Amino acid sequence: MAFWDGLSPVVQDSSLLLALLAPIVLLGGALLRGYAPWAVLRALLWRSRVAALVFVALIAVSVGLGVALLAQERALRQGAARAADGFDLIVTAPGSEVTMLLATVYLQPSDVPLLDGAIYAEIARDPRVTLAAPIAFGDSYNGAPVVGTIAGFVDHLSGPLIEGRMFADHREAVVGARADVAMGAELEPAHGTGIDADAHAHSEEHYKVVGRMAATGSPWDRAILVPIEGVWEVHGLAAGHAEGAQDALGPPFEPTLFPGTPAILVVADRLVDNYALRAAFTRSDTMAFFPGAVIAMLNGLMGDVRQLMSVMALVTQTLVMAGVIAGLVILMRLFAGSLALLRAIGAPARFVFAVVWAYAAGLSVIGAALGLLLGRGAADILSRVISARTEVLVQANLGWPEVHLVAGFVTICVFVGLVPAALALRRIVVADLRA
Amino acid sequence: MPAPENMELSVKGLIVTGAQRRKLLDLPCLTLAPGQSLGISGPSGAGKTTLLHAVAGLIPVNTGAIQWGDTDLADLSDAGRARFRAAHMGLVFQTAHLFDELSALDNAAIAAGFAPKHARAAIRDRAREHLQKLGVQASTGRAVATFSGGERQRISMSRALARSPAILLADEPTASLDRAAAERLGDDLLDFSRQGGTLIVVSHDPSVLARMDTVLRLADGQVMQ
Ligand SMILES: Nc1ncnc2c1ncn2[C@@H]1O[C@H](COP(=O)(O)OP(=O)(O)O)[C@@H](O)[C@H]1O
Ligand SMILES: [Mg+2]
């Protein structure tokens, strides 16, 4: 076991695949050695082409379903985790971590209480903190979230902009990579989001798009990021800066003139500091959480569902396999005359056995291979739909778990294929010859 | 060409019983020298096919003995009898059981699939040779599904001869053929016999039976004299 654990994952995965496929190769080799059953197989396949196609399709669909589910589920988890990259530690008013996670990381609209200027100042002042970015969501433009923040957050999330420049004025905006607004466009934000958004709430206020962020694979790619001062002003609130410096942009803010923010992203350089900060801001008036940890917890809760899915996929495949085997046994009647002829003219029992087995194994292998492709395609389509619906970039790829599942399934099929082969040998040759 | 083996057929006290112990065949004694031909006739249900199956080792023999030369079929296992048929016998069945999906050549050479690798090419060569000799177009890859009854019997015959057997067993090979085709197939059978093969043909056809060295008449599983 120590040896196995010491191997690299790729070596482990490919060894497992080989171990799963080895029985097929060994069995096939043992049964077919010294024979050339291809003409007979070709004839039987053609004779039963409709049934064979149905079997292959059944196997392909059931395998494809399992593969797609597995790949999709993993992609979803990876996508959700990737979308939370960069959101190290979030501080909000006390409440539900899941709600805050959805609102902050995935920009799902929700009404949440605000943190005041004193708390922001306390966080920003902390020597362990390298970035304390307010995240003021709640407004929208054409259904896309308009979020007030500071330039440091844009840098943190996007890195270098792919177009234009950083906002330098309360009325400028930087948009996400996939936001449906052009550079230089003037936007009129609405208060609230979705169908309840009040389009005329801020009728006199406009933002001008001056930059575009790199893609992050998260809902932030559709967001419009503006200086938080702009959001406050649009709502007729103080703009965070003392008289005489009203046009200033970004921190430090004047705590008494800080109207509030629903969430603050906190970034610290050292991991231990992250934990210390979480501890420090978990108190009666604030809540601090790691989005990654909340996602992990949710994944843990989903673990049972995942297992259920796997079991269901397996049950489906087993049922399909049972159906196919039953079908094969019935099909043997279609082959009975030919197989009896072969045995009558002196074909060894192993030859006839190998022919029937190769027929069943061939259908399983072809069906499973098609299923792998089908599953890949289905997962691709599902990914696109989910990506479009949730704005979380989900990219399903075939991974080792799917390959192992299919290899295991094929191996089982190939062994079950011994059943019709054995039944074919039990038929009475002279009776089938007379038929 | 038939192998120059001592393949004398010797059947003694053979009794074949079917369902409910019904006696299908009772053959006290039958011998057939190598290179001899034997015709078997009799009404439908007389046990002709049963006799052919028995001497081919296709049905287990409980009572009596069937010997081909020094080989007693009862001493052989299923696999041993299959090997014996593969090595020494050509069989033409009442129903040809051709692979309709394959060409005439693939059908005639079907035994190549389970023959030792070194023997495969020879089987195909002889299959082609016999098809040509029997007047079946072997060059086309056309599936045999659409071939006429006569052609199918000839393919079946080529299949039986492709391994150069010493023994040829044919069950009503001319049954579904017209006069001319039956005549030609009769010639082919006689050719095999003339070249030293041991031949047993089940037939209702007087012209075929007339050309056999001996004719055995069966009725109700018994030999008629
Ligand atoms: N597999 C079988 N099923 C039904 N009847 C059989 C079978 N084998 C032999 N018989 C019976 O055996 C007898 C001899 O049959 P068979 O040898 O085919 O006669 P023939 O070839 O002379 O027409 C018949 O009564 C037939 O009904
Ligand atoms: Mg008969």
Rounded to two decimals, the ipTM of the complex is: 0.95
Give the residue numbers spanning the domain of B132.
9-223
Q: Which one of the ligands is nearest to B175 CA? A: 2
Q: Using the 3D structure, point to which of A289, A307, A326 is the last residue of a domain.
A: A289
Same domain as A114, residue A64:
no
> Which amino acid residue places its CA nearest to atom 1 of ligand 1?
A431
pLDDT score, position B110: 97
What is the number of CB-based contacts under 8 A between chain A and chain B? 88
Same domain as A97, residue A220:
yes
Same domain as A278, residue A367:
no
Kindly state whether residue B183 falls inside one of the protein's structural domains: yes
Whether chain B has a CB inside 8 Å of the CB on A334: the answer is no
A408 has a pLDDT exceeding 80: yes
Kindly state whether residue A4 falls inside one of the protein's structural domains: no
CA-wise closest residue to A279 among A91, A127, A147, A85? A91
A185 has a pLDDT exceeding 60: yes
Cα distances (Å, whole numbers) of residue A94 to A30, A49, A121, A158, A259: 68, 66, 18, 28, 18
Residue that is written with structure tokens 């299919």 in the block: A406
Per-position DSSP letters for A55-85, written without gaps between them: HHHHHHHHHHHHHHHHHHHHHHHHHHHHHTT
- Tell me, in angstroms, the distance from the centre of ligand 2 to residue B160's CA: 18
Q: Which atom of ligand 1 is the closest one to the Cα of A434? A: 1
Same domain as A231, residue A98:
yes
The answer to whether the CB of B34 is under 6 A from ligand 1 is no
Taking residues B177-206, report their average pLDDT: 89
Same domain as A253, residue A107:
yes
Kindly state whether residue A387 falls inside one of the protein's structural domains: yes
List strand residue ranges (DSSP E) for A76-184, in order: 89-92, 129-141, 144-149, 163-164, 172-175
Whether chain A has a CB inside 8 Å of the CB on B49: the answer is yes
pLDDT score, position A199: 56
Taking residues A177-189, report their average pLDDT: 90
Kindly state whether residue B54 falls inside one of the protein's structural domains: yes
More confident: A430 or B140? A430
Instruction: Say whether B85 and A345 touch across the interface (CB within 8 A).
Output: yes
Q: How many structural domains are present in chain A?
A: 2
Kindly state whether residue B3 falls inside one of the protein's structural domains: no
Same domain as A21, residue A132:
no
Kindly state whether residue B146 falls inside one of the protein's structural domains: yes
- Compare CB distances from A338 to B56, B59, B99 and report the shortest one's residue: B99
CA-wise closest residue to A208 among A142, A162, A164? A164
A81 has a pLDDT exceeding 90: no
The count of other CB atoms within 10 Å of the CB of residue A34 is: 12
A291 has a pLDDT exceeding 90: yes
Instruction: Say whether A346 and B85 touch across the interface (CB within 8 A).
Output: yes
Distance CA B204, CA B43 (A): 8
Q: How many structural domains are present in chain B?
A: 1
CA-wise closest residue to A262 among A128, A133, A131? A133
Same domain as A236, residue A103:
yes
Kindly state whether residue A33 falls inside one of the protein's structural domains: yes
Give the residue numbers spanning the domain of A103.
89-289
Same domain as A263, residue A127:
yes
User: Do the beta carbons of residue A210 and residue A172 sit within 8 Å?
Assistant: yes
pLDDT in tens, A312-332: 887 888 888 888 888 888 888
pLDDT score, position A197: 58
Same domain as A232, residue A99:
yes
pLDDT score, position B20: 84
Instruction: Say whether A340 and B79 touch across the interface (CB within 8 A).
Output: no
Same domain as A406, residue A330:
yes
pLDDT score, position B2: 43
Cα distances (Å, whole numbers) of residue A237 to A188, A208, A260, B135: 17, 20, 10, 104
> Which amino acid residue places its CA nearest to atom 6 of ligand 1?
B18
Give pTM, 2 decimals: 0.82
Kindly state whether residue A321 falls inside one of the protein's structural domains: yes
Same domain as A255, residue A139:
yes
**Which of A58-62, A67-71, A237-241, B136-140 is modeled with the greatest confidence?**
A58-62
Same domain as A312, residue A195:
no
pLDDT band for position A204 (cuts 50, 70, 90): low
Kindly state whether residue B65 falls inside one of the protein's structural domains: yes
- Average pLDDT along chain B: 90
The answer to whether the CB of B44 is under 6 A from ligand 1 is yes
Q: Using the 3D structure, point to which of A233, A254, A289 is the last residue of a domain.
A: A289
Å between B95 CA and nearest CA of chain A? 7
pLDDT score, position B36: 93
- Compare CB distances from A43 to B56, B102, B160 and report the shortest one's residue: B102
pLDDT band for position A150 (cuts 50, 70, 90): very high
Cα distances (Å, whole numbers) of residue A29 to A21, A301, A359, B59: 12, 46, 15, 31
Instruction: Say whether A36 and B120 touch across the interface (CB within 8 A).
Output: yes
The answer to whether the CB of B20 is under 6 A from ligand 1 is no
Q: Using the 3D structure, point to which of A243, A271, A289 is the last residue of a domain.
A: A289
CA-wise closest residue to B7 among B27, B30, B28, B35? B35
The CATH number of the domain holding residue B209 is 3.40.50.300
Cα distances (Å, whole numbers) of residue A392 to A194, A380, B120: 18, 14, 62
Distance CA A359, CA A40 (A): 10
